[in-house]
Amino acid sequence: MPSDSPAAGLPVDPPTPTLPGRFALFLAFAKMSLAGFGGVLVFARRAIVDKHRWMTADQFNETFALCHFLPGPNIVNLSVVFGARIRGLTGSIAAFLGLLAPPFLIVTTLALLYAHYGDIPALRRVLNGVSCAAVGLLLAVTWRMLLPLLRRREPIALVMLVAVFVAVGVLRWPLPQVLLVTTPLSIAATWLARRRKAA
């Protein structure tokens, strides 16, 4: 900090937010969570970067990269890491609860209704239709993620992809065991491929 800067009381950094308190964190994450049908990430970025300016786009990407790298639901990790950076442990708990408590109440209410009325033929037909559309959406997301991989023509990545698909989807082997074998293999293959490219 240059001590001779004029108007020393004014904030200097580009994101100049008043950092949210714990209740504001809870509310902000509750809002993005309840807005997020089929994925909360887009809404989280919009709220944190664009609306509240609590982080710059770069800070957000860096935080998200860390959360994506760690196991577990990415957006849950993001709430915890973001809350911790703003308000420490209690900030993380506030953001975590904001993200999960309201939609949990909704889902549990739906579960209760389903347990009582799930056998009604009309509801069965609706859920069948929704289920088909939801699987279609999942396939579309998978296809969109697959395209860049196909374009780059990385044979080893494609072999790993097919191996995991067959092991978990067709043979129904347990996920932990499959990942314990394929993750080191994939890391080694990626490392070798990059070294060859650099050489």
Partner 1 sequence: MTGIGTLVSIAAAFGWLSLFAVGGAAAAIPEIHRIAVDLNHWMSDAQFADAFAIAQLSPGPNVLIVSLVGYQVAGVAGALVATLAMCVPTAALAYTVSRLLTRAGDSPWPALVQAALVPLSIGLMAASGLVLAFAADGSIPAVVLTVAAAVLAAATSLNPVWLLVAGGILGLLGWI
- The span from the CA of 152 to the CA of 105, in Å, is 43
Smallest gap from Cβ 171 to partner 1, in A, equals 10
CB 59 within 8 A of CB 72: no
Site for partner 1 in 90-149 (CB under 8 A): 92, 96, 99-100, 102-104, 106-108, 110-112, 114-115, 118, 122, 125-146, 149
Window 50-89: residues binding partner 1 (CB under 8 A): 62-63, 65-77, 79-81, 84-85, 89
Q: Rounded to the nearest whole angstrom, what is the least distance from the CB of residue 163 to partner 1 in the complex?
A: 7
d(CA 76, CA 82): 10
Q: From residue 23 to residue 52, what is the string marking binding to partner 1 with x (rule CB under 8 A)?
A: ----------xxxxxxxx------------
* Three-point CA angle 111, 116, 118, nearest 5°: 75
Letter for the amino acid at 151?
R
Residue 117 Rama label (left phi>0; alpha psi -120 to 50; beta): alpha
For position 1 contacting partner 1 by CB under 8 A, the verdict is: no
Q: Which of 26, 170, 196, 199 binds partner 1 (CB under 8 A)?
A: 170
Shortest reach from residue 197's CB to partner 1, in Å: 12
Distance CA 97, CA 22 (A): 11
